[in-house]
Structures are given as C-alpha cells and as structure tokens.
Amino acid sequence: MVTNRVWRWTGGIVALVIAVFIFIVPFAFMVLTAGKTKQEASALEFSWPTQWAFLDNLVTVLSARDYILVRAFVNSTILTVVAVTIMVILGAMVGYVLQRRRSRWNPLVNFFVLAGLIIPPAVVPTIWVLQGVGLFKTLVGLIAVHVAFGLSFCILLFRAFVASIPRELDEAAIIDGAGPVKLFFRVVFPLLRSVIVTVIVVQAVFVFSDFTYALYFLPGDENATVQLTTYNYTAQAVSSWNLLFMNVLLITIPPLIMYIFFQRQIVAGMTSGAVKG
C-alpha cells in the first residue's frame, strides 16, 4: 500500500515536471523575449529583461503595416465563427441520422467519413476546385475548406454521443407530434451540449491557429489571418525577435484562454460516447 502511494506521488511529480518543461518554460521564454529590446532579444537567451519594452513592442506590432494584425484578427474571428458554426450544425445532423437511421447507404457514408480523416488534404486539386467555383482567394472559400476537412471529426464525435441518448425520447417526441426538424432541434440538439462545447473549442482552436490552409487558399494582405502575420518579421527576424515573439504571443492568447476555461468540457465531450454505442 505504501509502495503504491510512493509510486503514485512519484509519477505525479514526474508528470508535473515534464509538463512544466514542455508548456510553461517555452511560454515564459516567449513572454520574456516579447518584453525585451531588439538588442537583448537578438541573443535569444532565457533571461530577465534589463529594460522592459513590452508596451512599446505591443504598440509596434499592432500598428505594423497599417494595422494588419487587427485586420487579421477580424478575418480570423469571422472565419472561425462561421466555419465552426457550420461544422457543429452539419456534424450534429449527420451524426444523428447515421446513428438513428439504419439503411444500405450507411456503410458508404461511413466510408466517406473515415476517408475524410485518413486521406490527407490535396492542395493543388483543392485550389483547382476553388478556382472553378470562383471561391479561390476568398474568405468563403477558406471557410468551405475548413468545413470539408473538419466535418468528419465532428460527425464521429456527435455520432458517438447520440448513441448514449435513449431512443424513447425520440419516440415520445414523435407521439407528441414533433416532426423530424423539431425533434432534432428541440429534443436532441439541447442534449448534445457537452460534445458541442468540445467541438467548438477543438475546431475553433484549429481554425484560428491554422497556417497552411490560409497560406495556400487565401493569399494576400487584405485576406491575412493571424498566423500569416508572423511573416511580417521573417525578413528582419535577426534584429526583430522581440516583435516576432510579441506577435506570436498575441495570437496564442485566444486559443490558450479557450483551453483553460473549457478543458473539463473537452474531456467530457471526448469520453461521453465511450460507454454506450
């Protein structure tokens, strides 16, 4: 008994130390570098700044290139809200239908859902399709790309959770005169709260933090997203590490806040369908 307790405490301490080195130390280094002057930041040392220039660096980054970071935050916010909203609604509807209604088309639909998780995105064919429909270099086109590539994950989560909802609720709602749309949005959808929060947080962080899709499918300063603003300092990175780290710090804060406040809901949504279904 004592041995088990010692091993439990030892394992907890080791895990805590590893977490500190993996997450806390890099974040602290980023904050310290963002508060240094150009000369101090160029050394890339993990040290306390001799002269804090945090506010000056913040103002410089926000006002750089005619406030491109502010425009990028607006673009990324619109992109994230619209894409995640579509993924939540479509993912919940498809997951509900796949779980509740059995037909000969289910294996084919399941194949395409799994294929969406396994097959990697193809850049050139996607650009060709977007050009064909006139959505290349548009925010709508990038929203469609994120929805297409993220929908499979959402469907699997919603389908697993719907399996834990008793069918008697559906039958009772139908007896009371509820149609398919009213049954889903009035009865089933409110019960998906935990998995909805999980999908919102996970997909919002992914969409907001995406670099590759925005780089390939939405080029141009007027369409810049927050991750692309790091290019502002790549040409002068040798002498402007403080501005680069300040930019990275600003675009890291929103996803970090979401994970901190919704970590329990994320775990609940991930494990909600593990018992039944």
Residue of 20 and 113 predicted with greater confidence:
113
Query: In this prediction, what percent of the chain has a pLDDT beyond 70?
Result: 90
Question: Is residue 273 scored above 80 in pLDDT?
Answer: no
Average pLDDT for the chain: 85
Domains and CATH numbers, the chain: 66-271 (1.10.3720.10)
Listed residue (217, 215, 218) closest to 228, CA to CA: 215
What is the chain's Cα-based Rg?
23
DSSP 25-83: HHHHHHHHHHTS-HHHHTT------SS--HHHHHHHHHHHHHHHHHHHHHHHHHHHHHH
What does the alpha-carbon distance between residue 34 and residue 246 come to, in Å, rounded to a whole number?
5
- Decide: pTM greater than 0.75: yes
> Dmax of the chain from CA atoms?
74
| Tens-digit pLDDT profile for residues 218-262 | 887 778 899 888 877 765 445 688 888 999 999 998 888 887 777
Confidence bin at 151 (pLDDT 50/70/90):
very high
| Tens-digit pLDDT profile for residues 72-92 | 999 999 999 999 999 999 999
Please, what's the b/e burial string for 111-139 (b: 16 or more CB within 10 A of its CB; e: otherwise)?
eebeebeeeeeeeeebbebbeeeebbbeb
Confidence bin at 43 (pLDDT 50/70/90):
confident
Question: Is residue 58 scored above 80 in pLDDT?
Answer: yes
